[in-house]
Each structure stands twice: as C-alpha cells, then as structure tokens.
Structure 1
Amino acid sequence: MSAVWYECKVKYRKTDDIGGQKVTTEPYLVDAISYTEAESRINEEMAAYVSEEFKITNIKVANYAEIHPFENADRWFKSKVSLIAFDEESGKERKTNMYLLVQANDVKEAYDNTVSVMKGTMGDYTIPAISESPIMDVFPYFSGEEGDLEQIERFNALKGSKPELVAVGDMGENIEDLVEADSE
C-alpha cells in the first residue's frame, strides 16, 4: 500500500534570528491514513518543536507519489516527472505526470537527486519542472514494528544530516584545499 501524504499548515509564534517574535504559517507533511490521523500526528509532532500555542489552519492531501530524503541537504524540492508511454492503438506518445518531493540544497542538486531516484525506471521519462517547495519538514508514519524502526531511523538520519562543505572549482577541491594552495 502506498503512503498518503497530507500537507498540514501550522500557524505559530516564531522567534527570529534577532530575538523578535512573529506569527508565521508553515506547511509540514505527514504520512497518515485519514484527515483525522493527519491532524493528530501533526499535533503530536509540533508539540515537540513548539513550546507555545499553535493552530492547524489547513490540512489537504498532497499530490506526491514519493518522498526522497537525501544526506547533507536542507530544503525540499517538488520534481515533476513525466513518464512516457507509447499507445499502440492510437500510435501516439502519452505522458503521465507524477510529483516527487526530493531533498537537496539547490535546483541542480534536486535534478541530480531526481535522476538518481529514477535510475531503476524501465520506461522513458522527462523532468519538465523542479521548484523549491515551501514544506518545512516531513514526518513519515511509524507503526512501531521492528522493520519500520530501521526504516524510520534511516529516513530521519538522511533528512536531518547537515550540508557538507560546498565543493568549488572544476576539480571539486574543498575550500580548505584552495586556501592552502593560495597560501603556498
């Protein structure tokens, strides 16, 4: 059975970088089997992050076919993938669109991550669009079974990892290597 993802908008008071507080509404994604469970799960998850009052302003079914966290990435991108099939009766190509939520640091990395996710696909496909998603965090379902524990830990480790140093230059040297080379 495939997962049903619900986008939940949560309104709460957030402290900014300079210590000021402002009311903000942010979308989160939860894996649930109904609107009621989605509401219950987002309440539970947000209670761990927000110490003050918060309000759920909207819950809707998200149209993501799959969610893919990646190591060392901190933003979520919506990738539109068009699967191409040849209709033998009409003799025409048909495209079926699906949306993936992929974690990356920028659009190029999101494209590369989408291609790596689609590597095992037998049919032809194109990636006509990738855009940054406003999703702040993703909370997958955890049933408590032993096999799920390993899967949820892996998912959380991937989405929670910090970005690595960005490689610069054509040969992919790290910033420290370039600094050392300049000082010699």
Structure 2
Amino acid sequence: LKIYTAMNMKMQKRLYKVLNGGTGVPWQNGIQAAATVANPKNGRILAQVGGRNVTTMFGLNRAVQTNRSSGSTAKPLVDYGPAIEYLNWPTYRTVQDTAYKYPGTNTSVHDFDDEYEGNMTMRKAIVVSRNIPAVRTLMDVGTTRSSEFLNKLGIAIKASQLTASSAIGINVSTEQEATAYSAFANGGTYY
C-alpha cells in the first residue's frame, strides 16, 4: 500500500518545533496556537499543526476545527482585496486614519496606540495595520461585495454575517486563511 500526501516533512517538523517552543519563541504557559502552510500553486497543505503540546491522538485540531478571530490578517481578505477587485482601487489610493465611529453607533474605532496618522496610502495602511482605514474601506466596498470576495476564496460568510467590525477580524480557521492567501500569491486563482 502506498499513500501519497502533499506534506513536506521538513516544513512540518519546523512548524511543529516553532509552535512547541523549540525555536526561541517565548510562548507563555497555557497559550494555544495553530498554523497551516499551503502551496499557492495547487492549494495542497504542506504543513499543519493543530495545537501546542498536544498529547492526545484524536484531540481538537485548532487548524481546521475551530474558527477564531483572525485579527488584522483579515484586512486584505475582507476590505482591501474586495476594494481592488470591485472598486478598482490602486494600492496608492489615499485612505483616512482619522477619528471615526462605527456606522450607526457612538462607538469609536481605535488602534492599539489610540492615535491617528491622517491620510496614507492603502498600501501603508496594510503595512502598519491601521484599523480605521480598514473599517472605512469595508464600508465603501459593502458587505455584499466583501462576502462575495470571501466566498470565492473558500471562506463561506454571508453578507448578513459581516459587520463594520469584521473589517478588523473574522472568524476563520488557519486552513481557510492559508488557502485564501494562496490565491493572492497565485495571481488570483483559488484552489
């Protein structure tokens, strides 16, 4: 019997070592993590670790069985990718990082530093991961287009499930996110 997989054993061992503290990453006790590495040319999973210090054979695989907030890694998928795709925004487009409230509320959108950087390019907003430009961009794109874009990348989220705060994080597995990002690296083709 011969079994063929796409798994890259060298990559798998390295990923396991990183998640289990063997590379100098200062993991705190009780912190969990999961990771997935996908081949952008065909969508196959090269390496995947479903948790840290896992000792059970059929335990929870956080890489595929849980959806946690992706945090800022969602911004290109939820906001900026759809803006480029549907609104034809270039990455040099100016976006605003100024005082802003979530639409229909009195709740201000903040960044980690409680500062505003003013006008910047979309590219810079992605690089420095500013929240306000991301929320503003999602509001310009609209949840319908964002949902359509996400669904094309294998992330099944209905427009009705997206809110302004989705601009800065959605619930997604590491496997979904890895394969979605693979499409960016593969000229837009999702596997």
Output the TM-score relative to the length of structure 1: 0.26
Q: Which has the higher contact order (CA 8 A, sep 6+)?
A: 2
Give 1 or 2 for the bigger CA radius of gyration.
Answer: 1
1 or 2, which has the higher helix percentage?
2
